[in-house]
Amino acid sequence: GAVVSQHPSRVICKSGTSVKIECRSLDFQATTMFWYRQFPKKSLMLMATSNEGSKATYEQGVEKDKFLINHASLTLSTLTVTSAHPEDSSFYICSARDNGASWGNSPLHFGNGTRLTVT
Amino acid sequence: GENVEQHPSTLSVQEGDSAVIKCTYSDSASNYFPWYKQELGKRPQLIIDIRSNVGEKKDQRIAVTLNKTAKHFSLHITETQPEDSAVYFCAASGSSASKIIFGSGTRLSIRP
């Protein structure tokens, strides 16, 4: 089955530093990947859609300069949380759709998530 | 954009009984409705999905129904077991791009 690998699984950083999270599709190609944020006992909130070779599309209320997304290849998207603050502490999950599946009509494959703690 | 509402937020059922979770969506152009199960600290796992060209789909103890006219869909779990305890999310794929919007989640607890 389709596998999405996300690293790191857990990171603790100090306020003001930046953190990069990687999301890789291991056995399929993904032109589009999605980044979600999940607060404790809450739903998955879509932050942005990552597009290979072009700019990401951010959801309303999500700061693009705060959450930098790069999708340089068909198997890798990165999310960088810049100048992190304690309120950025959360569970970040990436997901991807298989290019080989029907467009707009196929399941999302999720990474294991990254638990970010900013001290 | 698409908006997905999910009810109830918590659900407790006796082991062996059935559980039903309901969702509504706003975008009439949505054509794909997956359900995900998430255990504590883990990634969401797809358990079943339905496309707009069918009204019902079943996979062993799990079934999903879709009413396009009313714009609602439901998850049915029969003969519940302790391992069914988790948070369940419904979702809908809207007409813009291929992003999937999630409902607020239902925490299902199975009482022994």
pLDDT in tens, B16-67: 999 999 999 998 888 889 999 999 888 999 999 998 888 999 999 999 999 9
> Which tokens go with B56?
């019902």
Optimal mutation site among A31, A35, A49, A105, interface B, most CBs of chain B within 10 A: A105
Residue of A nearest to B35 (CA): A107
Q: What is the DSSP string of A106-119?
A: S--EE---EEEEE-
In this prediction, residue A16 carries a pLDDT of 97
Mean pLDDT of A5-27: 96
Q: Where are the beta strands (DSSP E) in chain B?
A: 4-7, 10-14, 19-25, 32-38, 45-51, 56-59, 62-67, 72-77, 86-93, 100-102, 106-111
Closest partner residue to B98 among A93, A104, A113, by Cβ? A104
- A43:B104 CB<8 A: yes
In this prediction, residue A12 carries a pLDDT of 97
In this prediction, residue B8 carries a pLDDT of 97
User: Does residue B96 surpass a pLDDT of 50?
Assistant: no
Summarize pLDDT for A72-110 with one digit per residue, the tens: 899 999 999 999 999 999 999 999 987 776 654 567 889
* B97 — pLDDT class (breaks 50, 70, 90): low
In this prediction, residue B59 carries a pLDDT of 94
Contact list, B107 vs chain A (CB under 8 Å): 41
In this prediction, residue B95 carries a pLDDT of 52
Contact list, A36 vs chain B (CB under 8 Å): 102
